[in-house]
Homo-oligomer: A and B are copies of this chain.
Amino acid sequence: MTKLSLISSSLLVALASASASAAHYDITSENHWVLTNKTTGTPQPFTIEQKVLQGGKQNGVKVLTINNGVMDITLVPTRGMDIYKVKSGDVTLGWKSPVEQIVNPQFINLQSRNGLGWLEGFNEMMVRCGYEWTGHPGMDKGELLTLHGRADYTPATQVVVDVDETAPYAIHIKGEILEQLFKKVNFKTWTEMTIIPGQKAFSIHDKLTNQADYPHEYQVIYHSNFAQPLLEKGAKIVAPVKQISPFNDYAKKGLKTWQTYLAPTRDFDEMVYNIYPYANKQGNTLAVLHNAKGNMGMAIHYNVKELPVLGLWKNTDTLGQGYVTGIEPGTSFSYNRSYQRKLGLVPTIGAHQSKEFNLIYMILDSKDAVNKQVAQVKAIQGNQKTELRATPLVSGKNL
């Protein structure tokens, strides 16, 4: 695992360490399954439960809930191991989408609505947009690429839970995602979420392997979405920025105020910004979102060697329409893949090679916690300038 050395080293060690497993469970076929520290014999209290939803388009969806003493996390194995929601005290990570159900991919046609079918199930806190491609729908190389790839419409082939036998007794939730098509692609991604009992943070450690005998393009965006109570009028996004530019013409007028958020605003729709972040020597960087008072927030740590760019999606429309911001470390921005090759944002993965993606999400529940993360941003930015580029990186009508 890449060393994300910006965050407290003890947490880092905890989240990154490999440890002997006290307990290993393959829960792929479980319909109702519960695990607690009483079973594993580890001292720190936790509960993990898997169940199957019923009713409408969520019929058959498997949901994993994890309580680590200070956080409740909901994962969705049936939707590519997406993170549906995280809750810790007053802080909730996630948002309220008009899509009420946790939708089973078997009911969704990603090609519908000109490739926007993905939106029929979009309501998670964190969605992996990849790995075959990411970005807006459109034709590339003669094929309709549907919105944001297919990883989160791919049910996990295997779901495994490991609990470490030594302190800090980390819980590892692993899921395997296959993107396979004869002659076209053979990607296997092992997703891993690590949670430590008693810690208000979790890490993602995903490993994409190109199992094919030929190299292949890949892309991924870690589409991380937040709303109240972090998002509100005067909420701020803080990140070390080398260059920020509007995604399209409509976003131009919000460029200068990119760092602050509006209250829910009728007819706002969305403004998206493309950010090239600064990082430290190891490539580590972060983005912080906090509320207006600055006493509540969250931070995402990631590494620009793995995920070189950051998308910022400001969708501060009405509460009913979706009041949400996306903070999106990725290999790529949200343009259709056809536009991103010129930007150098369509990397290739060699035959039988792997790529790893590491992120740490931290819940910030005090002014002090927020300030510490903001200080890390400032440390990375230092005296380096932020370019506000007025024109979008890509021009066109239907981006």
Contact = CB atoms under 8 A, between A and B. Distances in A.
Contacts of A143: 113-114
Contacts of A146: 112
Contact of A107 (B56, B122, B155, B318): B155
B183 A56 contact: no
A318 B213 contact: yes
Interface stretch (A96-104, A244-252, A386-394): A96-104
Indicate how many identical chains form the complex. 3
A321 B214 contact: yes
Contacts of A110: 109, 112
Interface in A97-142: 97-101, 104-107, 109-114, 116, 119-120, 122-123, 142
A322 interface: yes
Contacts of A184: 113, 116, 119
Interface footprint category on A: 35 or more
Chain A contact residues, majority secondary structure: loop
A56 B156 contact: yes
A180 interface: yes
Interface of A: 28-29, 54-60, 97-101, 104-107, 109-114, 116, 119-120, 122-123, 142-144, 146, 154-159, 176, 178, 180-184, 186, 211-214, 266, 317-322, 351-352
Given A56-B176, A211-B320, 4 more contacts: A113-B184, A212-B321, A213-B319, A213-B320
